[in-house]
């Protein structure tokens, strides 16, 4: 398939940006998922962020519409920013190197953009979870998401969609800046907050991507996740994206952050730290006023207290 430039006979062009660092094992599947799109006008921009594996060799077999660009290692945010600068089209889609786009992803997202007003600058979508071999994870629990506008306040409370599958108008990065290269995780949430503070965000409400879970996922680093989540919240608080005088709202934001980090610590079998963060969460804000929006109820956190305490009594898993 060859890439055609945008004309009056073609739909708007989309540049799919794939940052890659030592993911040669998964990268071909990500690229092939782009080439299987049923959308007519796109390119794939692979930014090799200083990989030390055989990423360059893996990409050597691809030609247009795939472009391979190498840069010295600078981190995920810098790689995405390089992809945005290299993008030739007016819309930019993001795909992590270990994830997949389903065949209708671009067509569904661009049809949604066509229906929305121009002040919508960012779309997210729903996902399915796969294992390291690309098979569905049968035990994964995931509540369906309905099509709806995503507000700034909702993104401040918690991440609403994966960076994989997100599609944005390229112009919005000139207005809001690029991904923050000082962040080593949660950089996508920071970017979406800054976009939502200026433009509007929509969730397509369809499963259009597949997220691969494996031992090397960045989200497995609990301490880094916690510190970067805190940095994003503080950055938004200092910027006054929601007035700091809205004390009740910000207490809920900080409470939910500690609830999320408690889940992360519990997931990696550190129950004492999980219990500590959960207790702080309850102290900051005992009852979320809109549990449907925040994905939590007070009783759920009480049950988590008991579960974490039992984990603590059992101690860490055997090496």
Tell me yes or no: is domain 14-216 CATH 3.90.550.10.
yes
> What DSSP assignment string belongs to the chain?
-------TTSPPPEEEEEEESS-TTTHHHHHHHHHT-S-SSEEEEEEEES-SSSHHHHHTT--TTEEEEEE----HHHHHHHHHHH--SSEEEE--TT-EE-TTHHHHHHHHHHHS-TTEEEEEEEEEEE-TTS-B-TT-------SEEE-HHHHHHS--S-STT-EEETHHHHHH----TT-SSSHHHHHHHHHHTTSEEEEEEEEEEEEEP-TT-GGG-HHHHHHHHHHHHHHHHHHTSS-TT-HHHHHHHHHHHHHHHHHHHHHTT-HHHHHHHHHHHHHH-SS-S-HHHHT--HHHHHHHHHHHHHHHHH-SPP-
Task: Look at residues 65, 56, 63, 60 and name the one whose alpha carbon lies nearest to residue 34.
Answer: 65
Mean pLDDT, rounded, of the chain? 89
- Check residues 106 and 269 and name the one with the higher pLDDT: 106
3-7, 20-24, 304-308: the lowest-pLDDT one? 3-7
- To the nearest 10 degrees (0 to 180), the angle between helices 247-267 and 222-239 is 170
C-alpha pair distances (Å), 44 with each of 33, 48, 87, 130: 11, 13, 9, 22
Tell me the two tokens of residue 186: 């949660």
**pLDDT 10s digits, 210-248:** 999 886 655 568 899 999 999 999 999 999 999 999 999
pLDDT of residue 203 exceeding 50: yes
Sign of CA dihedral 45, 50, 53, 54: positive
Question: Taking phi first (over 0 means left), then psi (-120 to 50 degrees means alpha), and beta for anything else, what does residue 6 get?
Answer: beta
The model's pTM is 0.89
Average pLDDT over residues 279-301: 66
Q: What angle do CA 163, 156, 182 make, to 5 degrees?
A: 60
Whole-number Å distance between alpha carbons of 144 and 234: 30
Name beta bridge partners: 69.
Answer: 47
Q: Count of CB atoms within 10 A of residue 290's CB? A: 11
Task: Characterize the bridge pairing of strands 14-20 and 42-49.
Answer: parallel
Residue 267: the pLDDT is: 83
pLDDT of residue 304 exceeding 70: no
Name beta bridge partners: 123.
Answer: 167, 202
Peptide bond into 282 cis (omega under 30): no
Q: What angle do CA 59, 61, 66 make, to 5 degrees?
A: 65
Residue 311: the pLDDT is: 62
Residue 2's pLDDT band, with cuts at 50, 70 and 90, is very low
Residue 4: the pLDDT is: 39
Residue 266: the pLDDT is: 86
Q: Per this entry, what is the length of the chain?
A: 319
Residue 7: the pLDDT is: 53
For the chain, give the percent of residues with pLDDT over 70: 84
């Amino acid at each position: 398939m060859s890439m055609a430039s945008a004309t009056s006979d073609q739909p708007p062009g989309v540049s799919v940006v794939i940052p890659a660092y030592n993911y040669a094992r998964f990268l071909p599947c990500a690229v092939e998922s782009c080439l299987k799109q049923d959308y007519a006008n796109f390119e794939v921009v692979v930014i090799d962020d200083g990989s030390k594996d055989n990423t360059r060799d893996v990409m050597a077999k691809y030609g247009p519409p795939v472009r391979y660009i190498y840069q010295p290692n600078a981190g995920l945010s810098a790689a995405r920013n390089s992809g945005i600068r290299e993008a030739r089209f007016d819309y930019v889609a993001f795909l992590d190197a270990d994830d997949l786009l389903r065949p209708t992803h671009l067509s569904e997202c661009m049809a949604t953009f066509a229906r929305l007003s121009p002040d919508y600058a960012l779309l997210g979508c729903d996902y399915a979870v796969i294992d390291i071999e690309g098979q569905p994870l049968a035990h994964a629990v995931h509540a369906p998401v309905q099509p709806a506008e995503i507000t700034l306040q909702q993104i401040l409370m918690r991440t609403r969609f994966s960076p994989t599958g997100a599609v944005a108008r390229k112009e919005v990065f000139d207005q809001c800046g690029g991904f923050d290269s000082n962040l080593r995780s949660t950089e996508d949430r920071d970017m979406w907050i800054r976009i939502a503070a200026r433009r509007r965000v929509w969730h397509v409400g369809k499963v259009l991507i597949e997220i691969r879970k494996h031992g090397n996922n960045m989200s497995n680093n609990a301490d880094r996740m916690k510190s970067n989540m805190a940095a994003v919240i503080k950055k938004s608080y200092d910027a006054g994206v929601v007035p700091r005088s809205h004390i009740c709202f910000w207490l809920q934001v900080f409470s939910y952050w500690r609830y999320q980090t408690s889940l992360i610590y519990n997931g990696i079998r550190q129950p004492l730290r999980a219990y500590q963060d959960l207790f702080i969460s309850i102290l900051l804000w005992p009852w979320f006023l809109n549990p449907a929006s925040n994905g939590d109820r007070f009783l759920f956190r009480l049950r988590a207290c008991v579960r974490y305490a039992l984990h603590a009594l059992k101690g860490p898993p055997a090496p």
